[in-house]
Structure 1
Amino acid sequence: MALFEFQRFDSQHAFQSQAAEQAFDQLSEPLLEHGEWLLRQLQRLPEEDRWLVEQLIREGYLSEDERGRLIVTVKGIRRIAQKALQELFAVRRRDAPGRHETPWRGSGEMQPEETRPYQFGDALSLIAAHETLKNALQRQAEEFRQSGPRPRLRLHEEDFVVHETLQQSRCATVVLLDMSGSMGRFGKFVQAKRVSLALREWIRQRYPEDWLEIIGFYTFTTPLHERALLLATPKEVTIFDSRVYLRFPLDRPPRHVPEHFTNLQAGLRVARQRLVRQGCANRQIICITDGEPTAHIEGTEMVLLYPPAEKTARLTIEEAVRCHRQGIHISTVALVDDPFYFGLTRFIQRLAAACQGLAVYCSADNLATGVLESFLTGRRFRRPWGR
């Protein structure tokens, strides 16, 4: 019995080691970790391995800009985000919560257990047929006792009942992503990027009316659109002194500014300025960080302090209180990799108490749950602060 079958080679059906989708999926993890460095390495591949890059370009996951540099296309970014979204929901319950529900009545999702009398202008699709027919039968039964039977059932205006609905609201969200030097340890920044990409994709699919912006904060702040977020990396540590005190004017900064400090105050200020421009009542900030603030702004000067100073913490909390006064809810997700780092937990507790927000403590592996629950509920956590 023959075990093999031979035929003439057809170049149109040549064997490929793996599909472009699988190759790009394998590249997505190191791309999240190394960013633009990986794209530069792909350009330096030897000629015999160049087929992989050409295949990804042909399938639309990568492209070349006007200077010949490799960039990730929108298709590639969306695939990484969708993959991150699948991984995010893989660790959650299958019955994920629904849309942004509020206790106010209005146009939105139908609630079959609650009904009310029909009012002029109500959508016909909301009519509760069962309750409407029951009202008509009860009314006609009373008429039968008074004036005898009638040949057919007639519906009157007062018989109609409609389902009650719940108002569904829009929400404006700013995610503050810590890009300081310490975020590069233990995969914290890679996981934070993955969760941020998944959150953006989830909002695009489920809440298209919502507004979301992701802002990275370090010594300074920078907005992170999708491609910038995908390629972002933590700032490299450039000062290793045990004590640091630097002050410089913002309008005349020195040539070399250490960028690996944590300026949460500036991040909150920029987020507040972005959110007050949004025309919706529900506004929130979700902050992902792994350390106490070590930088702040005093007037027109930037101050960098290490170890963390009380003055920096106080000015940061004051900025959080300004956000709270303008109706912005703050959820702070602290990535705790050292159980004995009590300085971070104490600061997060003070921040949440001052602005009546949420404090979430988790590891990098559990970051998805912390961020998603903060976004969905805004008020649920194992321990309420500032109540």
Structure 2
Amino acid sequence: MSRYKKYAGGDPLAPPVDIAEALDAIGEDVMSGYSPERAMREFLRRGGQDQRGLDDLARQVAERRRELLQRHNLDGTLQQVRELLDKAVLEERKQLARDVTMDDGDRAFREMQIDNLSPNTAAAVSELSSYDWASREAREAYEEIKDLLGREILDQRFAGMKQALEGATDEDREAIAEMLRDLNALLDKHNRGEDTDADFDEFMAKHGQYFPENPQNIDELLDTLAQRSAAAQRMLNSMSAEQRRELMELSAQAFGSPALMEQMAQLDANLQAARPGEDWYGSEEFGGGEGLGLGDGTGVLQDIAELDQLSEQLQQSYAGSRLDDIDLDALSRQLGDQAAVDARTLQELEQALRDSGQLERGSDGDLRLTPKAMRQLGKALLRDVAKRLSGRQGERDLQRAGAAGDLSGSSRPWAFGDTEPWDVPRTITNAVIREVGEGRRGPGVRLTVDDIEVQETEARTQAAVALLVDTSFSMAMDGRWVPMKRTALALHTLIRSRFRNDDLQLISFGRYAQTMEIEKLTALDAIWDKGTNLHHALLLANRHFRKHPGAQPVLLIVTDGEPTAHLEPGGDVWFSYPPHPVTIARSVEELENSRRLGAQTTFFRLGDDPGLARFIDSMARRVEGRVVAPELDDLGAAVVGSYLGDRTARRTSNSYGGYPDAFGGRGWWAG
């Protein structure tokens, strides 16, 4: 079955949106400290290499709004009236001068009336309402003034009326008057809550030709009329006091009868009562040289209102904002089809990201990275760690899942230097699939290096790892927040992908400590509370060790400050700066409990504070631990290297200081 839909612009043969660039940018921003929600929004705002973002579209909207205000002024109708009035007076003077049959007294009286016209255009038009024109051309110019005013006033409320009523007959004008009477009657009835669908259908059947928008119900009709009526009021508000006064005086001359203005005033009152939320009181400052008539000016004010709505939609700054809120039809009207195509592509990109399994919205509505996305980010960080470790030691990245141990049940492509046994079924399957894809037929299967997969092994020793990361005020203030998060994600990814038997507990500690899942820690905004509660963090770490009595405890502590808080027996936090002796004693006591549980402890000291260095050195000596003082860029490599070194030490009983010598021996990273 074929399905057809309206062509929405753009290249119909263009491929689906590519989310790879977006995912890379979002991941980079997340690791730079943005929450996933903010990272997503920032990419959509910036756009991609070949894709305009929301900021570019919003900038174009602002430029369009500014251009409308700087190009136009609101004096167009008044200027047209002045020109027609001048034409009528000039033609009348010509006629009076050349008409030799006219009585001299009559000529003198007419010339006196013309000479004494008010300099005010509206007053002059009013004074000439009863003048007996001698010139046919002058009379036609004056009648055109009244016709122009009527068409402009109607065009303010009903788009296109100025053109539709050009050259209209008295019957056409009466039909308009009847439509206005019926419309006001319908709106009166609606405002009283007495209208029915049949009333609307009857009105549209009789007067539908005046509403090209083709509203389907009374609410759509009200929306259309109220938006334009409110724009007309904003146009009036934008005029000078003199312009408003002159225009109101001229309006009484529309079609030569005040009845039109009475009906229009009633219509405005009905619309304002039905749609009080429209902007009836705003105004704009026009400063251009191109005069606008009443109808065109109202249209420009509608355009400006629509541009303001688009600006708000593109800024996405209101609660619950979504790219689906962007009115693509309005964007196309104001900026052209390509702008609508760009916005729709961003909408599709956001949807593709959600559908890709990389991003999802939680129950609170915030965008979050899925576990799949976290794994990809972690792998990227591990690649960086691998380069730093191998570069520092002068070794290549050997890819074995464990130097010795049991088969893990998984396999991976063979790489130069691998000594693990082949996974024969997977290798043969790869070769068959490749040859079928190449169209090869014949007896036997030919293997290539790319077909080979080897079996992975896992180390037999199990570890209970506690990574304690400082989230105190100083970590955020001194730029250590992001390296801390990158380090935690790299270690988490390594353990989950290559050492699945190990149990990792992530513990953050600021004024108090808490265990955290990696998703929460990665998305954690900077915490500005003062306090470094190492005592509480060690309590949680020791609880983790006790839950795994058969595993080797590994304690990794990343901090940039001495303990300034501890947990009281009742659960309250005690904070003191400089560090209180009780806080130090409690922290040391709990650290020694970790040693009694058999924990291998490594401190990662950030910063160059001599007092901190002395304190951490003394703490490490008490528990026979190690101290590493890495640069921020090397923090991830230092923590991962220490963890891998501890695994090597458990297998070989070798000890070392500083960075480990073997970094887990070859095999922790599989790309």
TM-score range, shorter chain: 0.5 to 0.7
Partner residue of 1:85?
Answer: 382
In 1: Cα distance, 2:562 partner to 2:398 partner: 32
- The answer to whether the 8 Å contact 1:62/1:70 transfers is yes
* 2:466 aligned counterpart, secondary structure: strand
Shift of 1:10: 5.3
Name which of structure 1's ranges 264-273 and 64-73 shifts more when overlaid on structure 2.
Answer: 64-73
Residue 317 of structure 2 corresponds to residue 317 of structure 1:
no
Q: Is the 8 A contact 1:193 1:230 kept in 2?
A: yes
Per-residue deviation at 1:214? 0.6
CA distances 1:209-268 after superposition (whole Å, capped 9, x unpaired) = 1111111111111211121122113311xxxxxxxxxxxxxxxxxxxxxx4311001101
Deviations 1:327-368 (Å, cap 9, x if unpaired)?
Answer: 1221111112xx3x1111011111101111111111211102
Aligned position for 1:356: 624
Q: 2:548 matched to which residue of 1?
A: 278
**Correspondence for 2:558 among 288, 291, 295:** 288
Contact 2:467/2:556 (CA < 8 Å) preserved in 1?
yes
CA distance in 1, matches of 2:616, 2:402: 26
Query: The residue matched to 1:34 in structure 2 has which SS?
Result: coil
1:235 aligns with 2:527: yes
Give 1:190's aligned amino acid. V
The residue that corresponds to 1:61 in the other structure is 358
Identify if the C-alpha distance between structure 1 residues 39 and 108 changes in structure 2 by more than 3 Å, giving closer, same or farther: closer
- Mapped to 2, the partners of 1:78 and 1:210 lie a distance apart of 17
SS of alignment partner, residue 389 of structure 2:
coil
2:14 matched to which residue of 1? 13
Bigger proportion of residues as helix = 2
Q: Indicate the SS of the match to 2:548.
A: coil
CA distance in 2 between partners of 1:74 and 1:188 (Å): 25
Compute the displacement of 1:297 (Å). 2.1
Separation in 1 of the partners of 2:543 and 2:21? 42
Return the alpha-carbon distance in structure 1 between the equivalents of residues 496 and 659 of structure 2: 31
The residue that corresponds to 1:24 in the other structure is 23
Deviations 1:246-296 (A, max 9, x none): xxxxxxxxxxxxx43110011011100111110324111111111111101
Q: Matches of 2:614 and 2:659 in 1, distance apart?
A: 14
Task: State the secondary structure of the residue aligned to 2:557.
Answer: strand
Partner Cα distance (2:496, 2:636) in 1: 17
Is the strand fraction higher in 1 or 2?
Answer: 1
Pair 69,354 (structure 1): closer, same or farther in 2 beyond 3 Å: same
What residue in structure 1 maps to residue 604 of structure 2?
Answer: 333
Distance 1:51 1:311, change over 3 A: same
The equivalent of 1:38 in structure 2 is 38
Rounded Cα–Cα distance in structure 2 between residues aligned with 1:303 and 1:68: 36
**Residue equivalent to 1:381:** 657
Structure 1 pair 271/15, CA: closer, same or farther in 2 (3 Å)?
closer
List alignment gaps of at least 5 residues for structure 2: 1-9, 43-315, 327-342, 391-395, 408-420, 422-457, 647-654, 661-671
Secondary structure of 1:91's partner? helix
1:132-184 per-position Cα deviation (integer Å, ceiling 9, x unaligned): xxxxxxxxxxxxxxxxxxxxxxxxxxxxxxxxxx9831111010111111111
* Greater Cα offset, 326-335 or 63-72: 63-72
CA contact (8 A) 1:203 1:210 kept: yes
For the 8 Å contact 1:100–1:169, the answer to whether it is kept is no
1:372 corresponds to: 640
Contact 1:100 1:376 in 2 (8 A): no
Determine the C-alpha separation between the residues in 2 that align with 1:23 and 1:231: 18
1:179, 1:36 → 2: CA distance?
Answer: 19
SS at match of 2:629: strand
In the superposition, relative to structure 1, how do residues 95 and 83 fare at CA in structure 2: closer, same or farther (>3 Å)? closer
Where 1:214 maps in the other structure, the secondary structure is strand
Aligned to 2:539: 269
Distance 1:282 1:56, change over 3 A: same
1:74 alignment counterpart: 371
Contact 2:466-2:554 within 8 A present in 1 as well: yes
Residue in structure 2 matched with residue 213 of structure 1 by the alignment: 505
Which residue matches 1:121?
none
Flag the 1:30–1:359 CA change in 2: closer, same or farther, 3 A: same
In structure 2, the CA distance between the partners of 1:54 and 1:277, relative to structure 1 (3 Å rule), is same
Which residue is equivalent to 1:178? 470
Query: Aligned equivalents of 1:280 and 1:193: distance in 2?
Result: 29
For residues 353 and 101 of structure 1, the distance between their equivalents in structure 2, rounded to whole angstroms, comes to 31
Deviation of 1:96 after TM superposition, in Å, equals 5.9
| Structure 2 counterparts to residues 91-102 of structure 1, below 5 A | 91-93=388-390, 94-95=396-397
Query: Does the aligned pair in 1 maintain the 2:605–2:630 contact within 8 Å?
Result: yes
- Give the AA of the match of 1:351: M
- What SS does the corresponding residue of 1:212 show, helix, strand or coil? strand
Kept after mapping to 1: 8 A contact 2:488/2:518 = no
In the superposition, the TM-score normalised over structure 2's length comes to: 0.40
SS at match of 2:481: helix
Q: Is the 8 A contact 1:286 1:332 kept in 2?
A: yes
Partner of residue 487, structure 2: 195
Quick one: structure 1 residues 297 and 83, their matched pair in 2 at CA, closer, same or farther if it must change by over 3 Å? same
Secondary structure at 1:374 match in 2: helix
382 and 234 in structure 1: CA distance in 2 versus 1, 3 angstrom threshold: same
Shift of 1:196: 1.1
Q: What is the match of residue 260 of structure 1?
A: 530
Give me the whole-angstrom Cα distance separating, in 2, the residues matched to 1:97 and 1:186. 36
Counterpart position of 1:299: 569
Q: Aligned partners of 2:564 and 2:538: how far apart in 1?
A: 14
1:37 CA displacement: 6.1
Between the two proteins, the alignment pairs up a number of residues equal to: 291
What SS is found at the alignment partner of 2:365?
Answer: coil
Q: Please tell me whether Structure 1 or Structure 2 has the larger radius of gyration of its CA atoms.
A: 2
User: SS in structure 1 opposite 2:480?
Assistant: helix
Q: 1:186 to 1:83 in 2, by over 3 A?
A: farther
SS at match of 2:576: strand
